[in-house]
Amino acid sequence: AEAPRGVRGVPTPARPVVVFPDAPGPGADPSPGGRARPSDGYGRSYALPWKVSGITVRIHWSLPALWLFLSLLGLVGGGAMGFALALVLFGPGLFGTVLVHELGHSFMARSRGREVHEILLWPLGGLAFIGSAPGHKDDIAIAAAGPATHVPMTIFWVLIALAASEGTMASSMNFGFVLGMQMVFLNVALLVFNLFTPCFPLDGGRILASSLMLGGYDMLATATIMERISAFIIVG
């Protein structure tokens, strides 16, 4: 459904949209040019032909090209084995992991009574567009739910690697073992990066910001603290 019309015919969202990314990106821009979808501010994307638990998942136009490019790099650097590994790792492996992460945010948001607009997979990761509502405790739970999905995924891929190496030499020639260990590294890296980097809009930054406001800091003071922390981390 089209968003309600605002001033001078420019559509405005019915409710504020909160973006829960697993990697930093530009702010959502659902209104310019008559665009109604929250993800339209990130460039052209295409919806998958099916929904995941009723949630529309969109793929950014550049992802197939990026997937092919990384797979070709694997071919150049590692031959057929490198190509096959990169094809799986940077395709269904990476973006399947990111999708599960965003579904973690989305399902937690639904359990707290919030609307989930859609999920966008794009070159810098994933974005879940979730309706805003008061409640800092809910914000913390929603932000933490994404990184939490990497715990069972890490365990799953450890088991895959162990199963693949059983009875054989766990070496670089064992495709299942190498893929499993690469996916373990990917999940641990995403967990640590998202949860323990206190920069907004990463999950760790959202948790810290909501915790500060829950502790009595107003929005201006919280924004100032987050700005200084982010600047320190970026500049070093």
For residue 34, being part of any structural domain is answered with no
Contact (Cβ atoms closer than 8 angstroms) between residue 198 and residue 212: no
Q: Does 177 share its domain with 79?
A: yes
Q: Does 130 share its domain with 209?
A: no
User: Tens digits of per-residue pLDDT, 133-185?
Assistant: 778 999 999 999 999 999 999 999 999 998 888 756 556 678 889 899 999 99
- Annotated catalytic residue: which of 102, 115, 118, 227? 102
Q: For residue 30, is pLDDT > 50?
A: no
Residue 215 structural domain: 197-235
- Using CA atoms, how far residue 92 sits from 95, 96, 130, 177, 220, in Å, is 6, 5, 24, 17, 41
Question: Number of structural domains, the chain?
Answer: 2
d(CA 20, CA 214): 19
Catalytic residue status for 102: yes
User: Residue 156: what residue type?
Assistant: F
User: Tens digits of per-residue pLDDT, 127-136?
Assistant: 999 987 778 9
pLDDT value for 17 = 47
For residue 22, being part of any structural domain is answered with no
For residue 71, being part of any structural domain is answered with yes
pLDDT value for 44 = 87
Phi/psi class of residue 167: alpha, beta or left (left: φ > 0; alpha: ψ in -120 to 50)? left
pLDDT value for 26 = 39
User: Tens digits of per-residue pLDDT, 43-92?
Assistant: 888 999 999 999 999 999 998 888 999 899 888 888 888 898 889 988 89
